Structure 1
Amino acid sequence: MQIDFLGIQAFLAIVECGTFGLAAARLHLTQTAISHRMRKLEDSLGVQLIVRTSRGVSLTQAGEALLPRARNSVRQLEESCDVVRKHGQNAPAWVSFGCLPTVAAGLLVPLLQRMQQSLPGLRIRVFDSTPGEIVELVQAGTAAFGVNIAQSVPDALAQQPIAQEPFVLVVPRAHPLAAKPAVDWAELEAERLIRISLPSGNSATIDESLGPLRERLPWVYEAQRTSMALEMVAGGLGVTVVPALSGAGHEGVAVVPLRGPVVMRTLVLLKPGPAPLRGPEQFIAETLAGLVRERLAALAPAP
């Protein structure tokens, strides 16, 4: 979906100022204009976020859920803009690329070690960001390319498939399911499930693949990051479903293949256009894609 940044800005201003009037003054808008922005945002989301009261405004449950994420997204955007401002003069001296955190967690260090040996002195900047942020970084030219999940992107960008990555079940090592060669999704109806929040893109992929079964799964916790969900599993709070690359090698947990159905996501190389990358960018992209394929082949269950 298209992000309504003006609506998010209005939402945050209203919450922080306490009234529509003060928020309008902060943004140099009329109250009618800021009310229109809020209605447009709520209509696009299909939920009410703010309720006017005699004392000012109050948040609905949906508004309370959106508030910390909206603040975090705006903060990250401000930080990204600050990075661009500070390093704009030195941009030619850096190779910048985006990478999903679930891919970067296990492969970034091996990648940079190879670059240190092959291209000593090269300065590399990595944006371990959400799928939507990676699209924005490549589109803006802040990142030369990105390793991302396949999704709808602007026409100016090109996606080159790298690999199919399965989702796997992660459980505490002592959990009864840890000893099974594979687990059916239906077996998870009896478990306490930890969900990864929507910005990662993983929960949407899972929901689309499961159909009606998704309504029966008992998601009792939600984490913002895969790394946090894995920590919760290691602490015995429940089980989670993550992309295979992010589940491998985490202490205190066991990884089990999932079936019925097997759920996959497509990893792609996101580029500014169909033309091939050049120089160090191409070498880094090819090396990272190769590492992804090598690791997935090593993690694949024996036939």
Structure 2
Amino acid sequence: MQIDFLGMQAFLAIAEQGGFQQAAAHLNLSQTAVSHRIRKLEDSLGVTLLARTTRDVTLTDAGRALLPRVRAAMREFELSYDTLRQHSRNAPQWLAFGCLPTLASHRVAPALRRFGQMHPEIAVRVFDNSIQEIAELVQAGTADFGISVAAPNRHGLNVEQFAQEPFVLVCPAGHRLARLRSVRWDQLSDEVLVRISLPAGNSATIDDALGERRLRLRWLYEAQHTALALNFVREGLGLTVVPCLSVTETEGLAIRPLHEPAVTRKLAVLMRRGATLSGPAQALRELVVEELRAGLPASGA
């Protein structure tokens, strides 16, 4: 049901001010406009609210029944409006950006800590979404910028590459490959592997880089997210391959570089074309990019 707010406002003004002329002056409207609002309200309700004579206006039984409810509703609305207005004055300033979960998991928090020291009055919202979702958020202006991978996009965004992130092997700390400084892909041919089928397209990146050699690998398990794949590795189900910024060495896990071939993905900042970041937003962008670069091996920058 559609609520006729303007009609109720006019009805209350007439009842409280004593007539159409007084209500029109109170609302800064013409008498014609007030009359139109009342007719529309009465038509929508199917009842007559006001009895009009040449000398005065009185409430009908329906009008008297409606008046206290309209008065209470209007007072409640005014209170809510004032509350929201006060909130808008006192609420913190917000910045928002998008970041792939595999990038945000370990490197974003230090950047936010540094940003908070610089701008303690600004709140930050992080959209840890997929490539497609981040692009849509940036295009819509919901996110000031996005940290994603450099890929063709149908949104016409500016894509500024800032680093290449290598993929690494994750294995149990006691595994034979953990004793090596780096691992060749052909050394994985006898190992059980856990594939991560992410919306970011990491599996496709690996397959494209390996070519026909991918057919010699034993991907016996598949997970949708990195955290689950790493849990599989801890439980001894197999080994996995992930972008290096998505994992840190923890108890029970070892991380080793992969080569022959080295597989990488390009990291980029996404922005709307023609958009200009505010000073704080630009500072936040620089801090996040700096933290991500710091987490890469020297050859990955």
Q: 2:269 matched to 1:266?
A: no
**Percent identity over paired residues:** 49
Q: Deviations over 1:98-147 (max 9, x none)?
A: 00111111112111211211100211100111111111111121111110
Q: 2:135 matched to 1:128?
A: no
The CA distance in 1 between the partners of 2:175 and 2:130, in whole Å, is: 31
How far off its partner does 1:280 sit? 1.6
How far off its partner does 1:196 sit? 0.5
Moved more, 209-218 or 248-257: 248-257
Determine if contact 1:130/1:200 at 8 Å carries over to the other structure: yes
Larger Rg: 2
How far off its partner does 1:278 sit? 2.4
Determine if contact 1:244/1:299 at 8 Å carries over to the other structure: no
Structure 2 unmatched runs, 5+? 1-86
How far off its partner does 1:227 sit? 1.4
Amino acid at match of 1:221: Y
Amino acid at match of 1:264: T
Match of 1:296 in 2: 296
Amino acid at match of 2:134: I
Q: Deviations over 1:23-62 (max 9, x none)?
A: xxxxxxxxxxxxxxxxxxxxxxxxxxxxxxxxxxxxxxxx
The DSSP-based 3-state class of the residue aligned with 1:203 is helix
TM alignment of 1:151-230, pairs within 5 A: 151-154=151-154, 156-230=156-230
Root-mean-square deviation (CA, aligned residues, Å) is 2.0
TM-score (ref. length: structure 1)? 0.66
The CA distance in 1 between the partners of 2:249 and 2:160, in whole Å, is: 28
How far off its partner does 1:298 sit? 6.6
How far off its partner does 1:299 sit? 9.2
Determine if contact 2:99/2:147 at 8 Å carries over to the other structure: yes
The CA distance in 2 between the partners of 1:208 and 1:274, in whole Å, is: 34
Match of 1:38 in 2: none
Amino acid at match of 2:228: M
Determine if contact 2:181/2:256 at 8 Å carries over to the other structure: yes
How far off its partner does 1:275 sit? 4.7
Determine if contact 1:169/1:258 at 8 Å carries over to the other structure: yes
Distance 1:133 1:195, change over 3 A: same
Distance 1:257 1:285, change over 3 A: same
Q: Deviations over 1:248-293 (max 9, x none)?
A: 2333200011011000100000111255422221111111001111
Distance 1:220 1:103, change over 3 A: same
The DSSP-based 3-state class of the residue aligned with 1:195 is strand
Determine if contact 2:108/2:291 at 8 Å carries over to the other structure: no
TM alignment of 1:1-303, pairs within 5 A: 93-154=93-154, 156-273=156-273, 275-297=275-297
Q: Deviations over 1:124-181 (max 9, x none)?
A: 1001111111111111211111100110113531011111100000000000000111
Q: Deviations over 1:174-207 (max 9, x none)?
A: 0000011111111111011001114131111111
Determine if contact 1:131/1:148 at 8 Å carries over to the other structure: yes
The DSSP-based 3-state class of the residue aligned with 1:296 is coil
Determine if contact 1:230/1:250 at 8 Å carries over to the other structure: no
The CA distance in 2 between the partners of 1:251 and 1:208, in whole Å, is: 32
The CA distance in 1 between the partners of 2:173 and 2:274, in whole Å, is: 45
The CA distance in 1 between the partners of 2:200 and 2:146, in whole Å, is: 15
The CA distance in 2 between the partners of 1:92 and 1:151, in whole Å, is: 34
The CA distance in 1 between the partners of 2:235 and 2:160, in whole Å, is: 38
Determine if contact 1:193/1:238 at 8 Å carries over to the other structure: yes
The CA distance in 2 between the partners of 1:277 and 1:207, in whole Å, is: 37
Amino acid at match of 1:136: E
Amino acid at match of 2:203: S
Count, aligned residues: 212
Determine if contact 2:136/2:155 at 8 Å carries over to the other structure: no
